[in-house]
Structure 1
Amino acid sequence: MNVTHGLIADAGLERRRAVFFDKDGTLIEKMPFNADPARMTFTPHALTALQRLDAAGFALVVVTNQPGLATGQFARVELVRLERALTERVRDEAGVMLTGFYACPHPLGQGDRPACLCRKPAAGLLRQAALTHRIDLARSWMVGDTLDDVEAGRRAGARSVLLDVGNETQWRITPLRTP
């Protein structure tokens, strides 16, 4: 298969642009280890942003670290229930559909390094979504509330935006962590 400038020659279909969103602290209010849909509250302007980005033709994808699965804070079935509730509320309250929801279930590795290729700041979740949904990462954005989100976007080849809402506490700035 020939890939040239975001076009897949065999299929004749252009890859899509996307905006990847962190879940906690970006789309919904940060509440550590929350898997209860009843306690899920959207951040200010999140639904309006989703509407505008959808109208502009962006695929909307959630990418989230969920180490509470590995540590037993909640079960996979509870995360699936939260994902469904989030998807339904976005559809019902904003009138848009999420393209995908990708979660890393792994804990932090040694020395603040990921123990896997999917935990942000690694780019695995974004790359997986790009393959599944025909997303052109070079024409896409990552939006999050920490520099790990920024770095994940940059590592994937996307542009990144940091919502400075007070959730970043370490401020280790490097070229990959510069929004």
Structure 2
Amino acid sequence: MASIFEAHSFAMIAHAGQIDKGGQPYIRHLERVANAAVGRAGHAKSVDRLAIEPMEVMQAAILHDVLEDTPTTPVALRAEGFSAPVITMVQLLTKPNEPMPYEERTARLIARGNLGAILIKMSDTEDNLSPERTLVGGEALRARYATAFTALKAAAASLGYTGT
């Protein structure tokens, strides 16, 4: 099985040259999301006693945009040694090929009931709410992310998660 170091290295290479909305290297967004998600997953495992593996959540978090924003495929992730749960979370977090409103994508993710993916999406949404990442005049985006975060938090709670 691949390690978090291998996941980070894979993401750095796959996203090389990409810049986020705030003008920073895209890997910084992935690192923030992974750090927040592993904190949430660690809480779920230790406090809530939920069946979740924090290191798998962290790997999936650092890789959460790799299928969407690079030519990487699930087969390539498997060939690199990433586990089936990691690949499943990454796939659940990847935008579908057909256009779909953000709210519908979020509802679809919630309906799958994968706590790890939901915690990652919470962390991703939280990072997207950051003033450093939201473009000037992005009130509609902030409202969309805030609504999604509330729905994701409720979904995590319905699966037994008590953290924030």
In which range does the TM-score fall when normalised by the shorter chain?
0.3 to 0.5
TM-score (norm 2): 0.38
Larger RCO (alpha carbons 8 Å, 6+ apart): 2
Which structure shows the higher strand fraction? 1
Q: Max radius of gyration: which structure? A: 1
**Greater helix proportion:** 2
